[in-house]
Structure 1
Amino acid sequence: MNANTNNSNGNRIIPLTCSGHTRPVVDIQFSSITPEGKYFLISACKDGNPMLRDGVTGDWIGTFQGHKGAVWSARLSKDSEKAVTGSADFSAKVWDTHNGQVLHTFVHNHIVRATDFNHDSTKIITGGKEQKLRIFDLYRPDAPAMELLGHEGMIKAVVWDEQHHTVLSAGEDATVRIWDLRTMRESGTIQCDAPISTMTLSSDGQYVSWAAGKTANFWKPDSSFEDVKKIQTKENTSSVSLHPSHKKFVAGSDDDLWVRIYDFETEEVVEVYKGHHGPLHTVSYSPDGEIYATGSEDGTIRLWQTDATKSYGLWQKDDTSNA
């Protein structure tokens, strides 16, 4: 712990610093809550070594070793039994999270920037520099991938929305594309004002969130393509994550070192914190909303408590009040 800031209520926020990576952290994701009441945090880093951590404490669990280049994307399956990573070594790998072993390696023709699982972890989807989406069947890993074509720039983010039978993809062509998995065709597009850097599905599946230039964008997949809540930000926004309550969201910027919390309804910044020594590339709320994680150019992940008045994980009331 080494950085702290007072929030709007005067309570001191002390983030936990998770070290271990040696280069910029470019992607983080919390898992769903397991039947045992736990959750995990996975991170992708330019050092080529994605890591798995305890989601509450940030304690290191293991490193997935095998990529030969920067890892741009890391995602956990719904049950946290598997992980999928996309790399600059032109491959996507699926891992066993219990022993860290590679289960499958899927070779591509260029850099893989985005990955995700379907709901039951039987398939993965990838996207990247080739400007095409590939869907691989983990039961038939040697079978040719299904391909979806339409992007006119590098794909930087993919989301598999099983609830609405769709996949969403986005990237440098400033377009969110929605693909109907029943027909394997593009069913709609959402045009943005700038290239899209990150995109995630909320823990309850109700919102898709993405960062595009100086905007934070939120869309309900069961609404029209025009019904996007676009919030203007003063800084270039690199990543956004919506709190499970849908009342606020966290945003990171690659313009400065600050973490900003926005009120979802008023669209105003309500809290600002500084802890990193480099710009923020990725942010994510935990599935219970008690903490959020930030990943930075400085090579660290920091965990921040949502409510500093509560005891949670390694944060205890007495420790906070006496800090």
Structure 2
Amino acid sequence: MSAPRPADPHPETTGTASPALLRDFYRTMLTARLLDEEAVALQRQGVFPAYVSLRGQEAAQVGSAAALDRDHDFAFPTYREMAVALALDVDMVGYLASHRALWHGGLYDPMRSRFAPINAVVGGPVPHAVGWALGERLRGDPGCAIAYFGDGASSEGDVHEAMNFAAVFAAPVVFFCQNNQWALSVPNDRQVAGGSIAARAAGYGMPGVTVDGNDVVAVHAAVREALERARSGAGPSVIEARTYRLGPHSTSDDPGRYRDPDEERRWRERDPIARLRAVLERDGHADTAFFEEAEREAGEQAIRIRDGVSSAPPPGGEEMFTHVYREPTEALRAQQRAWREEAEL
């Protein structure tokens, strides 16, 4: 696969970033795109039982992750934040192990990477992020949390309760909504009252910002500002990154049943990777050699990760009984004994 080329002859970004940072953004976003394609192929080949693509949301994820303080902050992802994991140097074979159903939450070290276990509950990462952030504030530590969720999750009660709790207690957390226009097959206008998720922040007494989620520079600047605000003790913020899911909701979904092809075409013309490439070319920050090298390195990394997760050994059956309870119950021990006896037959 070749990197997407820009359809817009006049690319724009909001804010500024150094040429070196822009090139880093491009490399990470491109690697995420190619790895995402490999993951979809693994699902089609039966290696993954299911997979959730991030195609089209690379700028929102990479830009937000790059703003984090890797020594102190913590990211709380859903099942779609593969590019966030990549940007935070998570062990990607361990990350994708969850999609292969080798281990719930992934086989990477969350504490080292500052990337919490994958959470497949809709809206689930949001209260977790608030709890962690409040702990940081009570300890007097400088860390901030970023909670990832989608436009569909914004309608969950857990998200509203977490926002209210965070605002009351001035928890240092950034609520980062990737509004990709579709809550599975339900469009924004059918499930987001008022048309804006960021506007809801006012009801909790916190700032809400809407940003172009396909502009990696704008996303990075907005998240950095929100983190600085939280770190200063001013409390939480809501950022709504407006982007688009270019692929299906998951590999079991058919967007052709509910989306207009013209809508998809318009958003493909705003592809975040092509857009960043156009900015780099226009401003003279990268040449053909850079793009060729970036594509070669990204492709090699994606293949290496693909092969690593494909060949990873499955866990032993005993792990079904591990970490269920801190102190195993007698009923659990009995189930484990019964399983062991059957396994040995």
**TM-score normalized by the length of structure 1:** 0.33
Q: Which has the higher contact order (CA 8 A, sep 6+)?
A: 2
Higher helix proportion (structure 1 or 2):
2
**TM-score normalized by the length of structure 2:** 0.31
